[in-house]
Structure 1
Amino acid sequence: MFSHEEIKKRVAEYAADYVEAGMTIGIGTGSTVYWLLQELGKRVQQGLHFKAVPTSRQTQTLATELGISLVDLNNVDQLVLTLDGADEVAPGLQLIKGGGGALLQEKIVAAASRQLIILADESKMVNVLGRFPLPVEVIPFGWKQVQKKIIQQLGCQLVELREKNGETFVSDHGHYILDCHFSQITDTPELNEAIHNIPGVVETGLFPNMADIAVVGYADGRITTTTSTLP
């Protein structure tokens, strides 16, 4: 049986095979993506040439250290694919992302890609989204008004302002994040739209109908690929 960290590493090594010479890709953020970057860094040293758009300062820093060539998204017409992790993956490849706080850039990069490939271990697979609190990125001005509306208008049980090391967490773009405990999210596109309609919301961690493939690792060593059923 493989440990949690070993599963992530194996999934990352498997998913690295999607990256081919000459591609311009997006690279996400998170613990599984850490291992992906390590593997891609090795392949760069072995002669693989590609360019990547990072989704966070964290990814940008590590990719640079590993010799991966980076490019600004504004200088790219379209990305061939994006490789990223997720906090929850439900049937139909509906996602919750943003546990690391990079949801805004992750969604922008995913939307600029022909394919979004999600790397996950079996613990991230759920029957319905909502066990993991839904991150919602908001501007600092009036964040309590957004918090109140998510509770009163959308029936959320608890909305917490994210903190890190005893201080309010601030995203790469200077925003706050509200972690919303919905318990169950049965209609991802509808909730995503409803939250976006609240003034002050920048982005949500819901990725409705955006993922194309999920590469999932299991403790017994299996790695499976699931493809979205959307046309």
Structure 2
Amino acid sequence: MAASSLIHPSSSPLLLRRRALLVRRRPAVAPIRALSVPAALAQDDLKKLAAVRAVEYVSSGMVLGLGTGSTAAFVVAEIGALLSSGKLSDIVGVPTSKRTYEQALSLGIPLSTLDAHPRIDLAIDGADEVDPDLNLVKGRGGALLREKMVEAASDKFVVVADETKLVTGLGGSGLAMPVEVVQFCWKYNQIRLQELFEGEGCEAKLRLDGNGKPYVTDNSNYIVDLYFKTPIKDATAAGKEISSFEGVVEHGLFLDMATAVIIAGKDGVTVTAK
């Protein structure tokens, strides 16, 4: 019997779940500050501009969640420079990936773990997508599990990004929304994820590394990337359905987590807060 007929009879709970993915609206948030920037800045310049602005949230004595990715790397570099110059002191960093750990260590940033610091003052990280309600897609760099753990443990979570990451709805960029799964029977979950979002025009693909082999996360798991043709109608419901699958470790929908989002674009640096 075909996999789809096993998973999707007309009365199956999975089909009913898909029908429940209806549009929800959250209260709008508004920009609270904008600073002008020079014209024609490259994307990396915009990321650095946002990162420098985000580090203004950092004070001496803080325990900091250190994000992963190209934008977060600028944040870590700025924190390292401020520590080196003496403008910051007594900082403890909790990195969200091995590569962030290595970068922070090379810059002389004291490091620790969630086990030693289960409450974090502030986390700063990038995002792959940001919607108008400050909900996020994260994890295209492969660190979504540790990122979500650290950022959920933080009193404040500040997101830094350039304007290319703005979307009207999560999944709207057409790029990957990652789901971390255990290696055991990963294809079983790939099929279930594909079928869950069948009505959303979604394609589920196993992430591969540069050698064409399955990409392995820092936690020794695989990633199934979901590519949506249209924005996810109800990200909260979608996140719950994904998490309900046995063998799914975490997903890249970061909902109601961001305290503030700093966006650098051609019109300036905008800080939007809840």
Matched with 1:146 is 189
Aligned length: 227
- Give the C-alpha shift of residue 19 in structure 1: 0.8
Q: What are the within-5 Å matches in structure 2 for residues 57-136 of structure 1?
A: 57-130=98-171, 131=173, 132-136=175-179
- Give the C-alpha shift of residue 216 in structure 1: 0.6
Amino acid in the other structure paired with 2:115: N
* Whole-Å separation in 2 of the counterparts to 1:96 and 1:77: 24
- Give the C-alpha shift of residue 133 in structure 1: 1.7
Q: Which runs of 4+ in 1 moved over 3 A?
A: none
Cα deviation code 1:143-200 (max 9, x no counterpart):
1110111111332521110011122100001000000012311211110000011111
Which runs of 5 or more structure 1 residues have no equivalent in the other structure?
none
- Give the C-alpha shift of residue 14 in structure 1: 1.0
Cα deviation code 1:26-80 (max 9, x no counterpart):
0100001111111111101112121110000000000000011111110113111
Which runs of 5 or more structure 2 residues have no equivalent in the other structure?
1-38
Q: Which moved more, 1:147-156 or 1:47-56?
A: 147-156
* Whole-Å separation in 1 of the counterparts to 2:66 and 2:177: 21
Calculate the aligned-residue CA RMSD, in Å.
1.0
Residue from 193, 196, 209 that aligns with 2:256: 209
Matched with 2:63 is 24
Contact preservation (8 Å) 1:4, 1:219: no
* Whole-Å separation in 2 of the counterparts to 1:7 and 1:157: 31
Identity of aligned residues (%): 40
* Whole-Å separation in 1 of the counterparts to 2:70 and 2:118: 28
- Give the C-alpha shift of residue 105 in structure 1: 0.1
Amino acid in the other structure paired with 1:88: E
Matched with 1:192 is 239
Question: What is the TM-score of this pair, normalised by structure 2?
Answer: 0.81
Amino acid in the other structure paired with 2:49: R
